[in-house]
Each structure stands twice: as C-alpha cells, then as structure tokens.
Amino acid sequence: MDQNILFSTIHSVLTKKGIKGKAHQAFIDGLIGSGNLLHYLYSGLYSKTDDHEKDFIEILEIIIDSYLERSPSLKKRDKAKENKDLWFLSNELAGMSLYVDRFAGNINGLSKRIDYLQDLGVNLLHLMPLFESPQEASDGGYAVSNYRVIDKRFGNIKDLKKLQQLLLEKDMYLMIDIVLNHTSDQHEWAQKAKQGDPYYQGFYYLYEDRSIPDMMESHLPEVFPESSPGSFVYNKDMDKWVMSVFHNYQWDLKFKNPEVLKAMLRTIFFYANLGVDVLRIDAPAFIWKQMGTSCQNLPEAHMILQLIKAALQIATPGMAILGEAIVAPREIMAYFGNGYMQNKECDLAYNASQMALQWDALATTDTRNMLCNQDIILQKPLGASWINYSRCHDDIGLTFEDSCIEQVGYTPHLHREFLKNYLSGRIDSSPSCGELFAVNPKTNDARISGSLASLCGLEKALQKQDKNAMQTSIDKILLIQANSILLGGIPMLFYGDEVGYTNDYSYLNDPKKSYDNRWMHRPLIDWKKNAKAKKNGTIENKVFTGIQKILNIRKAHYLFSDYNNVEWLDSHNRSVVGFNRNLKGKQMFCLFNYSPVPQGLTYYVFSSVREQSNKLYDLYSEKYINIGADYEHLLFEPYQFYVLSNY
C-alpha cells in the first residue's frame, strides 16, 4: 500500500470511529507513527490472501475499538508505567505463579490470601489458566474451550475484576495466560468445524487423508511422546485428520488464516482491558506451521508476535508480553526481536536455560557449564527482561548448549543421561526425588518432573527423619532461589515452594491427571502447613523467612533492577559461581557454592573494590567480611551463598 494511501486509510478509519481532538492526540500519533510497521508486518504474513487490504483495515478497527474501550483508570495506569521507564525492569517486582483452585479454592479465596503473599514479598501474581476448559481433558487449563468465560471452578469475570481492583489498590500486578497455538476440541470454533461449517474449518489444519500429515510428521518432534504420540488426530465427525501437536484434544489454530489472527487479537485486547499487566503467551514457538520444517521458531511466528506487540503498544501500552518459548539459549534471543525489530516483540521471556543450569550445577557440583552458557544469555537486549525461576508448573528441560557441555569436558548425551538419572533419584547416592517426564522411546530424550523441595532432597530427608539432611535440603532451596532472585530479571516463585512442599502423589488416583506426572509438583495447599511459616524452627519457617529475606534484599537495592548490569565472575573454583551487580558506582557480589563440602574463593575476585574499602557487608548473614590478600580465601560452608555490598 502506498504511504499516502496508508495514511489516508488510517485517517478515514479514525474519522469513522469518531477519534479526533487533543484528548486522543497521543493515540492518533501512535497509530499513525506505527502505521507503516503494522502494514509491513500484516502484509508480510497475508499479502497473498484475498481481501488482505480490507482485513488490514479491520485490524486497525480492532486497535481503535480496544483503545476506546479502555477505562480511564487503566489509561492512567498506562501513563504511570510509562513514567517508570520500562516498569517491568524494576528491582521491586517479585512474582508467584499459582493455580487458583489449588492455592486458594477460587478467585475470592485468593483475594483473602493477598496479605500472605505481600508478607512474603510477592507483588506480581501469575494466575495459571482461568478460562473454561473441559475438566476431563484440560492440560491444566491449557486446552481452552472459551477464551472469555472464567471456569466456574474459579468464579466468574466479576470476581476477576474485583481481584484486579484489589491488586491495584495494593500496588500489585496481574499476569494471566493466553493460549495462541491451539484450542480445546470442545471450543465453539472446533464444534462448528465438526458440524461442517467451512468458515470455522478454516481455523484449523484439516486433511482428508494421512499423506500431508505423514510428510509433516517426518520433521516434527513429539511434544508428549508417551501420552500423545504423533502430531495429528483423526476426527470421525469430519472424517478428517486434525493437527494436534500437543495433546490429541488440543487442535492447532491455523494462523495462516487472517480470521484467526483477528479473533485472537480481539481476545488479547479483551484481557488487556480487564487490567492485565503481563500477558503470558503460551507456546509461541509453535504458532506458524510450514511443510518441511519442525514448525517451531519460524520467522512468521515472530512476525505475529511483533504485530501483536505493535498493536498493544498503540492501544494498551501498559500490558507487557511474556513469550513462553522454552527453547535453546541461542533461539530464545529472537523472541526479543532482531535487528530493527529488537525490543519490538516480547518484553519478557523465561530464562529456562539458567533454571536448568542451576540443576546441572547442583547435580554435578560443577558450575562451569552455567558460566559457559552466560555468553549467550547475556546477549539479551537492554530494555527486555527475563523471568527467572527455579521451578514452575512445567517440567525441567535440559535446554543448554551442547558446545558448552563439551567445552567443560563432558559428552552431551551422557551428561544429560546422568542429570536425568540424578534428578529422578535413579542414582543411589542422589537425594533427589523426581520422575522422568515425556520419555521418547525413539530417542530416549526425557524431561524431569518434581517439586523444588523434593529435587533438593527434602522428601528423602523427611522419610529418613534425618535432621542434617533436612537442613542441607533447605540450604539448597535457598541457594537456588537466591540465584534466581538476585540475577537480572523478574523472580517468579512457584506456589508451595515458599514453604517447602514435597511431591504430591495423589494425582495417580485421578484418571484425569494420572497420565501426567507434572501434577506431582502442583500441590493442593494445606493452609495449616503454610501457617507453620510463622512458627520458628519449622522447615516451613526456615524456607519462608529465607526467601522473604532475599526478596527484601532485592527490593531494597536499585542495582538489582535489570539494566543488563550483570557481570559473571571467574572464580577459579568449579563449585563456586558468582556475578557482580553494578550500577552508578555501586557493586554487589552474589556468590554461590553448589558443593556439599566447604569451599574457598580467592579474594582476588574483589580486586575491583579493594581500593575503595577493605571490607564488604553480607546482606544475608548481616556480617562484615574483611578482604584479604589475593592468595587468601573467602570460605564457604556447603551450599552457602553471599550477597556482598561495597556500600
């Protein structure tokens, strides 16, 4: 479209919608200023479709309608966030991810637990999928049957709005999920497709026979090879094969059809205007399919995310995007945008490699693999940020670079085999109690399930009533959490981990869950247990107060904001790793011992601050340490960490 025609089109749509005058000038300027980008992205995806210019005008109308529907209070909050200069980089943010029903019964019950979360130091709530999904085939809520209706188990949309208002009053933030890649096979669109409606059949990948599915599957990795092998399912109602990359009941949406994009964009804006602060886009790597590829991380998937981001930035700029792309470190960087599109795609991404590298270090007592991978992880652009975490609702995938494993002297497949056996407790000396998940019988690949506490040895320690082992497991929990909390990015705790919940095996008695061992680390909260967080000397108290203290340290020091101000240190001790957080002349040394035995680190690591002071203050133990000569050593107890300040 010619630029003059483009601007004329935008003005025409604005006039049609009654948008004019000073009150809307910032929005008008934003829409016109981003017009070329929007059209470039849309045309790159859909220029070969019929009526693509008409469809583009409809995209403009969706953006304008969403702006008009945004409440004055949310527009005011947008402005406040803008004044904070990328609010999601702040050291004051700390999150928790939780299942509403398993944490508090329902949304109203969650409202009554806000004080508990604030006491811990959490001010960003990630509510796992809330919208309708069939209980018998929900994938934990990620098989959505209605994007606009809250599942009755949790409450209703009014309850969510009340919760959002409460969070606003308490200066807290809300994050929810949207599943772009697929719907439940019981979604209205899928039901109409089954009934033969050609419009909705166009929303999915449907094939008359196995010829194309067979060709595609020759390039597609299996996501759930045990419970849902293959990537297509036969539907007898249509007598067609349906693409279902995840579970058989999750039908992949066909984003090659612009009607799908428009429908999902309306849903995204619906969430934005509910007051959502962070939208977690589930499985964005899969949203574009192309014959002859793995159908992951394709350029068109990035263009869709960039178009969504551009649209949000115009109409609802206060909502940030988190891309849940659990891919190798080199591939994750693309989700922040490359080249001109840098910082024009996802604002946030999961630091999944760092999470896995912590478990690698804990299992091997060797931090060199963690250190090697930082060359890639540190390429994150300034202005974007990580979600740092130790555990989540999902499994642990060993997504780090083979080249780094080789560089530190290990064989990649043997190293991963060791990690799987260690974390699943198959090695006699391992204290971990995990389980292998999604074992692929063809490749022997697998991921790991298990709660933070059980993987750190607490479950076995409790079984043996070994008090020393219990304390060791607590030390491991706090070590791992400290690394996640103090590194650049938003720390995201997983509910139950703050008081040391071990694996819950009751899922085995539920046929709706028994096929998926990830439910072992998705606990049903017993508030009598959580109340022990207030009782001195209990395991719950030690874990809760330890995490609480680390979060308070983070929030008290601006240099823990994410301004790419992380410098990893060369410790010359393979069991000890650390990084320097520095900003405006102030420095913080965060040091971690991943060994079960005492270790030492030469004071040479502090050479950059020795001229300013001969001592540092450990914010965690609240003690000073004197900086010795370069050949002398700072001593670490097993699994000890330091947070050393030079100011």
Quote the CA–CA distance of 47 and 65 in Å, as a whole number: 24
Structure tokens at 300: 């068109």
Could you confirm whether 504 is annotated as catalytic? no
Show the tokens assigned to 492.
């995201």
Look up residue 38 and give its two tokens.
């929007």
Closest CA to 307 of 262, 348, 272: 262
Is 417 annotated in the active site?
no
Residues 6 or more apart whose CB falls under 8 angstroms from that of 61 comprise 13, 17
Q: Are 489 and 562 in contact (CB under 8 A)?
A: yes
**Which residues make Cβ contacts (< 8 Å) with residue 630, sequence separation at least 6?**
602, 603, 604, 607
Burial (0-12, 13-18, 19+ Cβ within 10 Å), 430: middle
Given 222, 252, 282, 366, which residue is catalytic?
Answer: 282
Helix 25-33 and helix 52-69, axial crossing angle in degrees, nearest 10: 150
H runs (alpha helix) in 91-184: 100-104, 107-111, 114-120, 157-169
Q: Look-up: residue for tokens 């006699």?
A: 428
- The whole-angstrom separation of Cα 636 and Cα 130 is 44
DSSP code of residue 261: H
Smallest CA-to-CA distance from 498 within 98, 61, 78, 75 is with: 98
- The two tokens of residue 67 are 């702006």
The answer to whether the CB of 278 falls within 8 A of the CB of 88 is: yes
Report residue 137 as tokens: 């085939």
Cα–Cα distance measured from residue 562 to residue 169, given in angstroms and rounded to the nearest whole number: 25
Q: Identify the residue whose tokens are 């529907």.
A: 69
Q: Closest by alpha carbon to 259, among 121, 436, 62, 495? A: 62
The helix (run of H) or strand (run of E) holding residue 12 is: helix 3-16
DSSP-derived secondary structure for 600-627? EEEGGGGTTTTTT-SEEEETTTTEEEE-
End-to-end CA distance of the chain: 58
Q: Looking at this protein, which amino acid is placed at residue 438? A: A
Count of other CB atoms within 10 angstroms of residue 209: 10
Is residue 276 within 8 A of residue 262, CB to CB? The reply is no
Q: Which two tokens stand for residue 284?
A: 């964005």
Catalytic residue among 78, 101, 277, 324: 324
Distance separating alpha carbons of residues 5 and 51, to the nearest angstrom: 16
**Token pair of 460, please?**
């076995």
The residues that are catalytic are 282, 324
